[in-house]
Amino acid sequence: MPNTNEKHHHFKIFKPYGFLSQFVQEAKRKKKLLGDLANFPNKTMAIGRLDHDSEGLLLLTTDGMKSFQVRDKGIEKEYYVQVDGEITEDAVLKLQNGVDITVNSTSYLTLPCKAFSLNGEPNLPLRGRNIRDARHGPTSWISITLCEGKKRQIRKMTAAVGFPTLRLVRVRIGDIHLDSMIPGEVVSLPDFNIEKGELI
């Protein structure tokens, strides 16, 4: 039987650009891992993932059951997305209603989601690597909120409506927010409310 008296640890971090959402190297080429950010307790794991090029809010825990429950509840995850070009109302509407992307070599229609244009650039720390030269044309920012999480889904979605993703930052999971954290910052949390994804 599991030890119900075992004290678990929970964290939120700002995953920087260029880090993998894992603690163990899976390839010969050395990559930056979450364990490079802090001395986490033994058995700490990421709840969900952000790919190598994506940034922002990531939850960590030593409680494997809680990790499973959070991922299994369809909790909202909000992302700020910088795209190539000035995104149109028609493109945003398509994102809201669902678009066809490819998942595991198979066509997949994304579920309806929340999406809207942001007024100007959001207040985020600069990324460690330059996005691109402004002379290459305008960019714009949108908010996309999903309750699903296929591999590289948002990048595939914005590309499907003609506006490739340049920068992707997760800013919210349920009611847990990135707030004013900076890349690489680690904040200890008391616990998660599994039903709503909020702090208790």
Tokens 């429950």 sit at which residue? 69
Q: Are residues 167 and 97 in the same domain?
A: yes
Of the candidates 83, 96, 78, 57, the residue with the CA atom closest to the CA atom of residue 140: 83
What tokens does 5 get?
Answer: 């008296």
Range 34-43, long-range pairs (CB < 8 A, 24+ positions): 34/58, 34/60, 37/13, 37/184, 37/186, 38/13, 38/186, 40/9, 40/11, 41/9
Q: Are residues 42 and 129 in the same domain?
A: no
Q: Are residues 42 and 101 in the same domain?
A: no
Q: Are residues 188 and 144 in the same domain?
A: no
**CB-facing half-sphere around the CA of 170: CA atoms within 13 A:** 32
Q: Are residues 50 and 16 in the same domain?
A: yes
| Structural domain contains residue 5 | no
| Structural domain contains residue 52 | yes
Look up the pTM and report it.
Answer: 0.90
Number of structural domains the chain divides into: 2
| Structural domain contains residue 88 | yes
Pairing state between β 165-173 and 55-61: parallel
CATH classification at residue 23? 3.30.70.580
Q: Are residues 66 and 101 in the same domain?
A: no
**Averaged pLDDT score across all residues of the chain:** 88
* Residues marked as catalytic: 51
Residue 155, C-beta contacts closer than 8 angstroms, at least 6 positions apart? 164, 165, 168
Enter the DSSP assignment of 187: E
Q: Are residues 37 and 94 in the same domain?
A: no
Q: Are residues 185 and 147 in the same domain?
A: no
What tokens does 167 get?
Answer: 């920068």
CATH classification at residue 88? 3.30.70.1560
Q: Are residues 51 and 115 in the same domain?
A: no
Quote the pLDDT of residue 5: 55
Q: Are residues 86 and 132 in the same domain?
A: yes
Domain residues for 152? 77-173
Of the candidates 51, 63, 81, the residue with the CA atom closest to the CA atom of residue 152: 51
pLDDT above 70 (res 196): no
pLDDT tens column, 63-108: 988 777 777 667 889 999 999 999 999 999 999 999 999 999 999 9
| Structural domain contains residue 1 | no
pLDDT tens column, 102-133: 999 999 999 999 999 999 999 999 887 777 66
